Amino acid sequence: MNKIVHFLNKKYQRFFEIRKIFELRHFIHRKFKEKDLGSLGLDFSDKPIRQDIVQKIIDKKKFKNYLEIGCNKDELFSKIICENKIGVDPIRGGNLRITSDKFFQNNNNKFDCIFIDGLHKYHQVRKDIINSLKVLNENGIILLHDCLPNDVFAQAVPRCQHVWNGDVWKALVEFRTHENLDVYTCYADHGIGVIFNRKNKNLLKIGTTDFHKLKFEEYFNNYKSLMNVISFEELLKVVDL
């Protein structure tokens, strides 16, 4: 039964990655949804990649327990060196073939470092963050991929192109408003979100409680302050605070 479900999941995913489907969605977004404001011009080509960032933090803090949500082709998971590591993905990669929701329902482990790179949609990212906070060791860290989309189509939901960040950024903005969470975005590898379970050192005050309805235009005009953007060098200092 599990093999059948796995097969159907892969077929479902591949269908929605067909070029014609992307073209149709791109047309719909362009004509009927948020307007195209152009590109922010974010350039990550000379910035550290997530493999190096995660490993540097693990080594620096001498972390022993690593969890990765959303492993895909193991671009990250296979590179990480840590005493204990668990990779969760319902389709491929990692070492547990299961959804993150199911994993957290049955998990009894605690983790020092958690990397979230699963379904790039606000509601699921929000849920993964909340569940991760429950199993995060004291002085641990949560990292998230794809927090800095370059243009409106890179963050459009449903997905309409191969290079896609989704609306992960909305979830990070929400947690920046929590007094007891210290949240940053590292300007590297499409934006690495960073969450510490400690007092917020730069609390975001924003006039909304429905973060799912945030518009890309607000992000486009204010992404540095909304996302609390820092460099990799600044991140390494923040890790030791």
pLDDT at 3 (0 to 100):
55
pLDDT at 84 (0 to 100):
98
pLDDT at 59 (0 to 100):
98
Task: Pick the closest to residue 187 from 224, 139, 152 (CA basis).
Answer: 224
pLDDT at 123 (0 to 100):
98
pLDDT at 12 (0 to 100):
47
Spans of the chain, pLDDT less than 50: 5, 11-12
Strand order in the sheet with 229-230: 84-88, 65-69, 111-116, 136-144, 192-196, 182-186, 229-230
Q: What is the DSSP letter of 212?
A: G
pLDDT at 129 (0 to 100):
98
- Round to whole Å and give the CA distance between 57 and 239: 8
* DSSP characters over 42-86: ---TTSPPHHHHHHHHHHHHT--EEEEE--TTTTTTTT---SEEE
Q: Is the pTM of this model over 0.85?
A: yes
Give CATH superfamily name and number for 2-239.
Vaccinia Virus protein VP39 (3.40.50.150)
Domain ranges of the chain: 2-239
Query: In the structure encoding, which two tokens stand for residue 221, read together?
Result: 């005009």
